[in-house]
Amino acid sequence: MSDQYPYDPQAADPTRAYARPPQAGYHGGPATMSPQDERTWGAISHAGALVAMICSAGFLGFVASIVVYAIHKDRGPFVRAHAANSLNVQITMFIWIVVSIPLILLLGLGLLTLVAAPFVAGLLHVIGAIKAYNGEWWNPPLTPRFVK
């Protein structure tokens, strides 16, 4: 017998006195989340991306989105949708920035999109975090769905 699990004197079967307690998701993959947890992690996927964008001058916002998506995508449809939306906002912002660089050299117009991209992404993340925390399904405007 193992000393890892405490002895249960109330156990009817003495051979099961040290049996491991059943855990959610132990045999069937990741456990599902409660609706409140899904809302919280959906909001964290947006808010974390916003904080990372601010702390890294717009370059590392995708890290929070990827982490939440990778860890929680199979735990519930709501958290998956909001984490995917957060990641899609980051991908779209990256595309805007890449397209802006040649436009700066050619037309000078790229400077406007280069500056606007992080602000628009930040605004979309704020709206997304609020909607996720309130339990609302939402797809950000002007954002293609690269990740589903």
pLDDT tens digits for 67-111? 999 999 999 999 999 999 999 999 999 999 898 888 888 877 788
Lowest mean pLDDT among 18-22, 36-40, 58-62, 125-129: 18-22
Give dist(CA 113, CA 40) in Å, integer: 32
How much is the pLDDT for 7? 46
Tokens of 11: 């156990």
Give dist(CA 132, CA 105) in Å, integer: 39
How much is the pLDDT for 48? 93
Residue 62 in contact with residue 17, Cβ under 8 Å? no
Higher pLDDT, 13 or 128: 128
> What is the mean predicted confidence (pLDDT) over 33-38?
89
Mean pLDDT score across all residues of the chain? 82
Find, among 116, 120, 121, the residue nearest to 100 by Cα: 116
- pTM, rounded to two decimals: 0.74
Coil, strand or helix: which one is 106? helix
How much is the pLDDT for 30? 66
How much is the pLDDT for 141? 93
Find, among 129, 130, 120, the residue nearest to 97 by Cα: 120
Find, among 133, 127, 38, the residue nearest to 78 by Cα: 38
Q: Percentage of residues in the chain with pLDDT exceeding 70?
A: 80
Give dist(CA 130, CA 25) in Å, integer: 29
Q: Map tokens 């699990």 to a residue.
A: 5
> What is the mean predicted confidence (pLDDT) over 133-141?
93
Give dist(CA 44, CA 80) in Å, integer: 12
